[in-house]
Structure 1
Amino acid sequence: MDPQGPHDPIVVDFARARHLPPTRLPARASLFLDFDGTLVDLIDRPDAVQVTDRVRALIAALCTRLDGRLAIVTGREAAFVRAQLGLKGVGIAGSHGQEIHFPDGTTSIPATPATLADAAASIARLAAAHPGILVERKPLGVALHYRMAPHLEGWSRTLAEELADSHGLYLQPGKMMVELRAPGGDKGSAVARFLETPPFAGTVPVMLGDDLTDEPGFAAATAHGGWGVLVGAERPSAARYRLEGVQHVLAWLEGVLEA
């Protein structure tokens, strides 16, 4: 059974909606897809997310149709996304684009900052006194989620800012979360790295994402002759097109396959 429950199919008339991306991609296109908020719905506990069979089938079919020119570009740990998808041969850029896992199995992963463990320990200790705050440890970062305690947004951001300054780490804001991570690299640099290597080299990149962390990816796609698709509510963005939510993304991807 679908772990997120059955969904009625969404029927979208893409031809009549000006802001919706075309389902017929450019010749030799490549797809770069965010994970949370794009392929799967955002939930209170990030560790409890489950990928549906519909998503797995879509990613597998698209990867085949595009001759491997598909990559997931996410803030998640790459190994987590790989395990959720259960697919080989799909490129993954994890940790906001810093962990690069190429389709051929090679990887490019920077060293973990020595100060990250101390910062993570401080966050875990202080967050324990605040019910609803979740701490997510990653290979190159530590995230503080306040989705279940929105009244603690100010506290979370202040704590993260102080620890970033004192430990020489990069402060990465996101949807109902803030993260301390290794400096250098983002989703834009990850898209650019993929575009330097087969099978992505020489292709037209299309990037989908919902968060501020996806903006560098949209900019990189545009700079390389492609375009971005913002998922969610309208806001200032480098993306050319927009889709309303996860179910609209899945409907659009199915339309891409049919086209």
Structure 2
Amino acid sequence: MNSLPKALSLPAAPDLPEGQWALFLDIDGTLLEHAAHPDAVSVSDQLRSLLGVIDERLGGAVAFITGRSVEVADRLFHPLKLRVAGLYGLEHRLAPDGPVVAADAPADMAALADAIEAELDDGQVHIERKGPILAIHTRAAPHLLARATELVEQALAELPKGYRVIPGNAGVELMPLEAAKGAAVRRFMAISPFTGRRPVFLGDDTADENGFEAINEAGGISIRVRPRGPTVAQYQLDDVTRAIAWLAANFEASPALARKAS
């Protein structure tokens, strides 16, 4: 594991050479611009089409690695269905038409969410209940981020052991220790069609750092979009627009990256 995060200045993501690649994608802040409310984002037909083409060219070796649930990812990108690790890997669908394997939430999570929501009830903070994960979005009220973080840290004492607090760019989340994007990447890399390919991961937030570590350990390409602090990612892209353009330039029209017949 790389325990020495790099400075904020990173080289731009390079053009990829010919090879067999596996692609892992965060959603919010990477493929979609953040919104004040998670439900306010939208997916363009162009992005949906691009991802479909990339999935076909890579022989299905494409997966979302996201904090959103599998159900929400499917709804956002409908009718496109990709492989997904949702809730930071606590639930996953290893094949586009396969079953969703999910984790249960502790019984006291709902009560904690209610208490935090009552404390922060100003109409601008959004409390997102995602089973075993509690997310507090303060993008519309950045002045409440410190208080939200404090409340979530206090809530740790009321949950079973094995939970942690993950701060983000515009919010904070409470989640089980096993919710880790790196573990989700490794799960996919152990199965077809990912096995034997070189992984690439695009993410934008603190929760993606664990995924970058797994990619680096596998000799892959880790790219952070709009980096705002220390990161173990190797490269950067300045914003969502450039991230999508990079994906199109490297995966959409390059026959060298398409799946080779076995």
TM-score range, shorter chain: 0.7 to 0.9
- 1:123 paired with 2:116, answer yes
Q: Which of 221, 227, 238 matches 1:244? A: 238
Q: 1:90 to 1:176 in 2, by over 3 A?
A: same
- 1:160 paired with 2:152, answer yes
Q: Percent identity?
A: 34
- 1:197 paired with 2:191, answer yes
Q: Secondary structure at the match of 2:88?
A: coil
Q: Distance in 2 between matches of 1:45 and 1:108?
A: 26
Gaps of 5+ in 1: 1-17
Q: Which of 170, 180, 189 matches 1:176? A: 170
For residues 84-233 of structure 1, what are the structure 2 equivalents within 5 Å?
84-104=76-96, 105-128=98-121, 130-168=122-160, 169-233=163-227
**1:137-161 CA distances to partner (integer Å, 9 max, x unpaired)?**
1122121111111111211111110
Structure 1 residue 234 displacement after superposition: 5.6
The answer to whether the 8 Å contact 1:93/1:101 transfers is yes
Q: Secondary structure at the match of 2:89?
A: coil
**1:98-118 CA distances to partner (integer Å, 9 max, x unpaired)?**
211112513332222222222
TM-score where L is the length of structure 1: 0.87
Q: Distance in 1 between matches of 2:189 and 2:108?
A: 32
**1:184-227 CA distances to partner (integer Å, 9 max, x unpaired)?**
13111100111111111121110000001101111101111212
Q: Distance in 2 between matches of 1:162 and 1:232?
A: 30
**1:162-194 CA distances to partner (integer Å, 9 max, x unpaired)?**
012222332122121111223313111100111
What is the Cα-based RMSD across aligned positions, in Å? 1.7
- 1:258 paired with 2:253, answer yes
Moved over 4 A (4+): none
Farther-moved stretch of structure 1 (49-58 vs 61-70): 49-58
The answer to whether the 8 Å contact 2:87/2:179 transfers is no
Q: Secondary structure at the match of 1:93?
A: strand
Q: 1:195 to 1:135 in 2, by over 3 A?
A: same
The answer to whether the 8 Å contact 1:30/1:204 transfers is yes
In structure 2, what is the equivalent of residue 7 of structure 1?
Answer: none
Structure 1 residue 32 displacement after superposition: 0.3
Q: 1:102 to 1:176 in 2, by over 3 A?
A: same
Q: Distance in 2 between matches of 1:145 and 1:218?
A: 23
Structure 1 residue 26 displacement after superposition: 5.0
Q: Distance in 2 between matches of 1:234 and 1:172?
A: 15
The answer to whether the 8 Å contact 2:74/2:81 transfers is no
Q: How many residues align?
A: 241
The answer to whether the 8 Å contact 1:116/1:181 transfers is no
Gaps of 5+ in 2: 1-9, 255-262
**1:7-58 CA distances to partner (integer Å, 9 max, x unpaired)?**
xxxxxxxxxxx92223335511100000000000011111111111111011
TM-score where L is the length of structure 2: 0.86
